[in-house]
Structure 1
Amino acid sequence: MPDEVPATGGPALGVVGRGRLGSALLAACRAGGTRVSLTASRRDGWQVDAVPDVLVDASAPEAHADVLAYCTAHRVPLVACVSNLTDAQWTSLEELATVVPVVRATNLSFAHYVQLRIAEFTAALTRGPLGPTTTTVRERHPIGKAHRPSATALVLAQTWAGASGRTVADIADERAGLPVSEHELTHTWNGESLHVRHHVGSWAVPARGALTAAGWARTAAPGLVTMRTVYDDLTARSTP
């Protein structure tokens, strides 16, 4: 049955998936006093005490139809953490977002958001006579990562291209080492290089990001957004 912990005023969560992220998220809920009113997994099925305020999907593409149906039927905001969906499944999320908030959370880390902002800052500085740079992306995940290059690596490349008007020269992917991931942008020009590397060593990091996204989505208007919108909004609120 769903984990019962004292309510703290935040959203009651539904958590779909008992893998690495789902398990870390449930642990974070227990530690922080966030009530979990729904859990779902391939082994145990759907266990529901009450309709949650927000549903976090940390499962797999195979569960997408059930997640979509539940959120549609109960008008529950969704934090979608499954990155390897099909085009048709992404389209169905867009349709759901016409009635509830949907956060497309392919990377939940706040430091990844900062890395994207640094990429945009670097692009602005290297447009003039001191540039241009040659830019590459490198990503590393442990053996067993579902697809390559990762969604985060592609977002880094797309962000750089959009900000600079120049595509990255290469995206290198590696499958080795310890959890959880590394993503690095390397800018090279005039005999020097700048490396902007982000390393995540614990699944507690994306779990915290999922809780942040859920808290944001609870009061958001319907629409499909990414974690960039969530962190843009939250950092703007905290700026004097």
Structure 2
Amino acid sequence: MPGDALRVALVGARGRLGTAVARACRDDGHHVLAAGPGGDLPLREGADLVVDAAPAAATGHTVAQCRAAGLPLLSCASGLTPGHLDALRDLAAERPVLRAANLTLGHWLQRRTVALLAHTLAGHTDRPEAAVHERHTTAKRDSPSASALALAELWTDRTGEPPAELASLRSGLPVSEHTFRLTFDHQTLTIHHDVRSLAAAAAGALLAVRWLARARPGLWSMDDVYDDAARRSRHVDPYG
């Protein structure tokens, strides 16, 4: 393999997201070591890092194996409990851990827009009402989604006020939609993100894999990955 190719241990490789991530990694020249949800990682083949695209139930087992093997972890699982998040934080004290509630470029841009709106409206006399609406197919188990929760938490952290509504819908075509809406007295502003293919998430996972391979220990997010990519491409911090 090329010198910059990685051996990626992929948990949940047969799932919808796992299949898309595996394809993207192989197309980029990386070697994918597949493991089923809750199964043992193929560590004897010399994995460089682990990508967890399995259901949340497998997270504890995967974290334990990463700790034992000393491997970085990209966690893409949805529906994580506070206990799962605590386990990721504990592992991050020793190894790089990237928690990705949403892997896509569009979600990062949506979050940056929401953060800018919160900053711009700080102290404004016309305080808008915020709402977060999300839609996934009926196959989505957790509700609301991690992406919707991330948007709501971002607004709450930046303004001190939670959204008036966080609504979930489970129907329709793949893959997902996330809408952040501000309602003023006589107008509405909507930031809508519509994902039509898991290829969008797989592209983000590929970027995250490359980033994680050179990261230092700590708990990271896709904001860190995309922010770093923006700085490298423009040689300046566009949000600094």
Q: TM-score scaled to structure 1, two decimals?
A: 0.90
Q: Answer yes or no: is 1:32 the counterpart of 2:32.
A: no
Corresponding letter in the other structure for 1:41: G
Superimposed CA distance per residue, residues 140-189 of structure 1 (whole angstroms, 9 cap, x where no aligned partner) = 00012111111111110111122223221101111111111100011111
Distance of 2:147 and 2:201 partners within structure 1 = 13
* Residue aligning to 1:19: 15
Does 1:170 find its partner at 2:197? no
What's the offset of the Cα at 1:20? 0.6
Matches within 5 A, 1:69-84: 69-84=64-79
Measured in 1, the distance between the counterparts of 2:154 and 2:124 equals: 22
- SS of the counterpart of 2:45? coil
From 186, 191, 206, the equivalent of 2:186 is: 191
* CA distance in 2: counterparts of 1:45 and 1:218, whole angstroms: 21
Structure 2 gaps of 5+ residues are 236-240
Preserved CA contact (<8 Å) 2:128 2:183? yes
Residue number in structure 2 paired with 1:150:
145
Q: Report the Cα distance in structure 1 between the residues aligned to 2:159 and 2:81, rounded to whole angstroms.
A: 29
Contact 1:13–1:52 (CA under 8 A) maintained in structure 2: yes
Q: Distance in 1 between matches of 2:40 and 2:30?
A: 21
Contact 1:105–1:226 at 8 Å: present in 2 too?
yes
Select the residue among 105, 117, 142 that pairs with 2:100: 105
Deviation at 1:49, TM superposition (A): 5.9
Q: Which residue pairs with 2:219 in the alignment?
A: 224
Asked if 1:215 corresponds to 2:210, the answer is yes
Residues in 2 aligned to 1:211 and 1:49: alpha-carbon distance in whole angstroms: 23
**Contact 1:120/1:164 (CA < 8 Å) preserved in 2?**
no
Cα shift at 1:198: 0.4
Partner in structure 1 of residue 117 of structure 2: 122
RMSD (CA atoms): 1.9
Query: Which has the larger displacement, 118-127 or 107-116?
Result: 118-127
User: Which amino acid in structure 1 is aligned with residue 118 of structure 2?
Assistant: A
TM-score normalized with structure 2 length: 0.90
Gaps of 5+ in 1: 1-5
Q: How does 1:129-148 map to 2 (within 5 A)?
A: 129=124, 131-148=126-143
Structure 1 residue 23, shift from structure 2 partner: 0.6
SS of 1:113's equivalent in the other structure is helix
Indicate conservation of the 8 Å contact 2:131/2:164, yes or no: yes
Identity %: 38
3-state SS in 1 of match to 2:108: helix
Shift of the 117–139 alpha-carbon distance from structure 1 to 2, 3 Å rule, reads same
Which residue in 2 is equivalent to 1:63?
Answer: 58
- Runs of 4+ more than 4 Å apart: 42-49
Summarize deviations over 1:105-163 as a string: whole Å, max 9, x none: 11111110110110011112223446211111100000121111111111101111222
CA 1:42–1:239: 2 relative to 1, 3 Å: closer
Q: Aligned equivalents of 2:18 and 2:11: distance in 1?
A: 7
Q: Deviations over 1:1-33 (max 9, x none)?
A: xxxxx4462432111102011011111123222
Alpha carbons 2:41, 2:65 under 8 Å: kept: no
Per the alignment, residue 3 of structure 1 pairs with: none
With 173-182 and 38-47 compared, the bigger mean Cα shift is at: 38-47
Structure 1 pair 137–117 and aligned structure 2 pair: CA distance change class (3 A): same
User: In 2, Cα distance between the equivalents of 1:129 and 1:42?
Assistant: 49
* Distance of aligned partners of 1:120 and 1:73 in 2 relative to their CA distance in 1, 3 Å threshold: same
